[in-house]
Amino acid sequence: MPTLRDTIAEDLRTQITAGHLKPGDRLPSEPKLATHYKVSTPTIRQALALLQAEGLIEKTHGKGNFVRAPLRRITYRGGAGIPFTPDLQTTIRTTTVRARGHIRTLLRVPPNAPLTEFHCTTYEGEAPRSVARIYIPRDLAPAAQLASPSWPGGREPGTAETQETVTARLPTPEEATALRISPRRTVLTITRIALNSAGRVLEAVFLTLPSDAADAVFTTHATLKEGEADR
């Protein structure tokens, strides 16, 4: 059963999506909203926090809550790396970790093998649009690359094949915090493995985007079966 917080958030959400509240409009003050909905001010704050997490409103200190202009949709294109565009700013952190669990399995490396981890977040203005974690065997990402990484963002040099898996699910608590979204807002997750011509795994990429503000486009190519090329 929906809580009062959820009911209020849904009513305001409907007003925004229907255009009754337009980008730039200031919402009534929290006390006025509390009076209108006949609830306490903390309940109103909880409802507004949901809308803030969804990117529908933003709070300006000392001024109030305002309807945000809709963020443009961004597109992930299969095999092209994380969605860097001139309109998005990106922060990248790098560190060295040890290969364990499913990451070790995906990279096909020995237990505790050293890996370089890239943690990337893209922003449109101050709004986070995607988060990605990229793992590369350390011998393919030397120490010099940690200081000034020219990658990630495209295909790892030497890539001959990419394998990608797309999933829609609820975000983990860490993803919800990083993307500043509600834990009930569906995300699109893309796992990409890049291999060279010898079959060695060059990288493993884990990309997460809010599903209602992103598209994923993949191109498939027909392949000839053995013997068809000679017909």
Give domain limits for the chain: 4-67, 74-217
Per-residue pLDDT tens listing for the chain (231 residues): 789 999 999 999 999 989 999 999 999 999 999 999 999 999 999 999 888 877 788 888 888 999 987 777 787 877 665 555 557 788 889 999 999 999 999 999 999 999 999 998 988 877 788 999 999 999 886 544 444 444 454 556 677 888 899 999 999 999 988 987 777 788 999 999 999 999 999 999 999 998 878 877 777 655 555 555 555
Is the CATH code 3.40.50.1110 the one for domain 74-217?
no
CA distance 231 to 214: 43
Question: Which has the closest alpha carbon to 48: 28, 63, 62?
Answer: 28
Residue with tokens 């834990």: 183
Fold of 4-67: Arc Repressor Mutant, subunit A (1.10.10)
